[in-house]
Chain A
Amino acid sequence: MNFDRHHLLGMEGLTREEIETILTTAESLKEISFRDIKKVPTLRGKTVVNFFHEPSTRTRTSFEIAAKRLSADTVSLSANTSSLVKGETLVDTARNLEAMNPDVIVIRHSMAGAPHLLSRMTKPSIINAGDGMHEHPTQALLDLLTIREKKGRIEGLQVAIIGDIAHSRVARSNIIGLKTMGAEVMVAGPPTMIPPFIESLDVGVTSRIQEAVAWADVIMMLRVQLERQQQMLFPSLREYSRFFGLNLETMNKAKRDVIIMHPGPINRGVEIHPEVADGPYSVILDQVTNGVAVRMALLYLLLGGKKSEMAD
């Protein structure tokens, strides 16, 4: 076991050993969610604040369930219920939260670096639950866990990430995590959505998704957001879906044992066609299940829970 961090701000900087520790811990905690009584006392008396400054259903629920299964107390705050709507700054809100002595603040924010700002200004452990276009490390960890579970390994696998790479924190965290674990990565999508200098992250790039699909052992589809159309990044959803969406025809060229992932929420019929999303190679719901396990593991590791209490 090797994990001695106070915060989880991103995949960047995590060592392979640390990632393996998180995944292995998650694997051992996953079973709790399948028990009759889905609760262990490990984090009894600890307080986890979910501070969501941007809408989220899946991630917030996942963190909340993870904390509760470990017996931590949880509080959720969203942007429209917090004082942020009254003009309080992020730092002031966080300092006020800090004054109530929580152990962990899980933060989701629309702006890159917000968790880093909190980590400099406040004492509790900060977990980044997604910051702007920067990182979403728990998503990458649950993706890594899912890949390891389905493929038995991560090293040497070929992973295609397809869609709006430029605006995706999921893509960034996954690229970093996958590279750290020894996988190969190719990104694919319209050139307007491939960030400049992406090659500096040591990934392949293509604007033809067929090429990426045929190459891949793992395909990660990303959500395309409607508002990008106004930013002159693509002409219409119709055209996007036709040329950059994953349909059955494209899937015919894929490896037989390929798996398809998506961080959700899915735009059915846009980036992924319904037959593909619900097809046999889809592991989208396994990702969600693993999300709880990975978040339990992180809370446990950051709060330094004791292994013995886990046994119960």
Chain B
Amino acid sequence: MKWLIRGGRVIDSQNQVDDLMDIYIHQGRIMDLQPVPPKRGTKSLSDYRVIPAEGLVVCPGLIDIHTHLREPGFEYKETILTGTRAAVTGGFTAVACMANTLPVNDNQSVTEYILNKAKEARLAKVFPVGAISAGLKGEALAEYGELKTAGVVALSDDGNPVMNSQLMRRAMEYAQAFDLPIIAHCEDLTLSRPGVMNEGPTSTRLGLHGIPSAAEEIMIYRDIQLCQMTQTPLHIAHISTAGSVQLIREAKKKGLPVSAETAPHHFSLTEEAVIGFDTLAKMNPPLRTKNDLQAIQKGLKDGTIEVIASDHAPQSALEKEVEFDQAAMGIIGLETTLPLTLNLVHRGILTLPQAIAKLTQGPARILNLPGLGRLEPSGPADLTIIDPDLEFQVDIRSFVSKSKNSPFHGWTLKGKAVLTMVEGRVVFNQMAPMVEE
């Protein structure tokens, strides 16, 4: 199959491209990119199927560095099939899935299982993240060599912070032997427990135990210090506080190999979303204050935070239709991350190329994904076509994810993916009928 994606605004921050271009695709690879208007007809178009992208944005396939696919073990919440379907629907051509499955992804059997399921699904590419510690228990190192050989691209105990500083140091050192970055979930459990929301005026009003910002910042500071000792690339997951942004900004100033991500809910919602005990606003780290939200937006703008990640965390009604204290943390995000990111563009906080870089170039660089996050001749034809001005109402009933736990239901957003292509295959298409494989 040969494709011509015609006349779209091609944005590839890796190659500093932001031009109207035609993209020619053959056998799953990009053949050529040619600026428009010059002259068409240099190629014989008769054997190309044309995707008219005039007025649309064409960018490298979006990459989600932080997804929970829940399989194996929690298939009632999400499976690799439904999760990757949600991914491509949201414009993602690749996701990195966290290790907190059952069994934990701390060995090659689980990694291989995930990769096989992803291959069967034939939707988004899946890059498994292996556990830092065996069983996510925080006691002993997992087998990084075996994990790397099986295909993991990073290490994280996401969901369970590594409380033992010695273990974290050893993990960072040992990971160097296999060129694996560490993704740190930063939370001092002795300070955050038994908190269920941000510690602030709202937690005091609602009588809920609070999680102070310091619980996140203390651990970020620790991990930055360990990064300074070991020089292992450290990626800080889902930062939520103004203090965290500042710590990362300073670490980068020192030239440390530190990067950070935030999630759309941390730049779109504040702790006030919890009022009324809405369990859909319960997540870890918790929604913070307006001041934090503004600092996060500033960190995105000035480049301190180079990745936006969904932190897609499917939970069923079993986990959410319960008392707030009992409810599980997390929301789904694969189908809302791009629109909420584009919201920052519409509000003038980010430029469109900046926003797209945080979903493409940023995660590709951190996870060392060769050829991804960019559009280059002979590179894989993984790309996303976005209609930045398409207005729609978020409706959980239309989500393809198996879980529906989103606090954004009913929001009117502008801009979404209309076509997703993985290695030349159209895996999501809202531009039909003219485009069919």
Q: Are A and B co-members of a single complex?
A: yes
When distances are taken between beta carbons in the complex, the residues of chain A under 8 Å from B210 are 196
A91 lies within 8 A of B204 (CB): no
Q: Which of A104-153 contact B (CB under 8 A)?
A: 109, 111-114, 116-117, 121, 131-135
A197 touching B277, Cβ below 8 Å: no
A200 touches B (CB below 8 Å): yes
How close is A199's CB to chain B, nearest CB, in angstroms? 9
Please determine whether B276 and A134 come into contact, CB atoms closer than 8 angstroms: no
The reply to whether the CB of B324 lies closer than 8 angstroms to some CB of chain A is yes
A111 and B323 form a contact (CB under 8 A): yes
Residue in A89, A117, A131, A200 whose Cβ sees the most chain B Cβ within 10 Å: A117
1/0 contact trace for B271-291 toward A, CB 8 Å?
A: 000001100000000000000
Instruction: Collect the chain A residues with CB atoms within 8 Å of residue B276's CB.
Output: 116
> CB-CB contacts of B205-217 with A at 8 A, as 1s and 0s?
1111110100000
Choice from A112, A116, A195 contacting B325 with Cβ under 8 Å: A112
Assess the A112–B205 pair: CB atoms within 8 A: no
A residues 233-280 touching B (CB-CB < 8 Å) = none
Most buried by A among B276, B323, B325: B323
Cα A12 to Cα B276 in complex, Å, equals 11
User: SS class of chain B's interface: helix, strand, loop or mixed?
Assistant: loop
Residues on A with beta carbons closer than 8 Å to the beta carbon of B203: 195-197
User: Of all chain A residues, which has the CB nearest B194?
Assistant: A231
Bound-state Cα–Cα, A113 to B197, Å: 13
Within the complex, which residue of B212, B322, B324, B325 is in contact with A91, where a contact is CB–CB below 8 Å?
A: B322
Known: A111-B326, A112-B325. A200 touches B206 (CB 8 A): no
B322 touches A112 (CB 8 A): no
Partner of B204, one of A12, A89, A121, A201: A201
- For residue A32, CB closer than 8 A to chain B, the reply is no
User: Do residues A112 and B326 form an inter-chain contact, with CB atoms below 8 A?
Assistant: no
Q: Are B325 and A111 in contact (CB under 8 A)?
A: yes
| A134 contacts B199, C-beta separation under 8 Å | no
For A171, the closest partner residue in chain B by CB is B207
A273, B277: Cα distance in complex, Å: 38
Q: Which residues of A contact B206 (CB under 8 A)?
A: 112-113, 134
Size of A's binding interface in residues, CB under 8 A: 25
> Would A169 and B205 be within 8 Å (CB), given that A109-B323, A113-B324, A117-B323 are in contact?
no
For the complex, give the distance between the alpha carbons of A25 and B134 in Å.
Answer: 64
Q: Are B200 and A113 in contact (CB under 8 A)?
A: no
A109 to B324, CA, bound (A): 12
- Asked whether, in the complex, the Cβ of B207 is within 8 Å of the Cβ of A196, the reply is no
Q: What separation, in Å, do the CA atoms of A117 and B321 have in the docked complex?
A: 8
Which residues in window 314-350 of B have CB below 8 A to A?
Answer: 321-326
Q: Which residues in A have their C-beta under 8 angstroms from that of B371?
A: none
Q: Which residues of A contact B321 (CB under 8 A)?
A: 89, 91, 117, 121
Smallest beta-carbon distance A80→chain B, Å: 18
A172 at the interface (CB under 8 A from B): yes
Identity of the chain A residue whose Cβ is nearest the Cβ of B199 in the assembled complex = A196
Q: Is the CB of B324 within 8 A of A112?
A: yes
In the A-B complex, the 10 residue pairs with the smallest Cβ-Cβ separation, listed nearest first, are: A113-B277, A134-B207, A133-B207, A200-B201, A111-B323, A197-B201, A111-B325, A195-B204, A113-B324, A112-B207
A-B contact pairs, 19 of them (CB 8 A): A12-B205, A89-B322, A90-B322, A111-B323, A112-B206, A113-B323, A113-B324, A117-B321, A132-B208, A132-B325, A133-B207, A172-B205, A195-B204, A196-B200, A196-B203, A197-B199, A197-B200, A197-B203, A200-B204
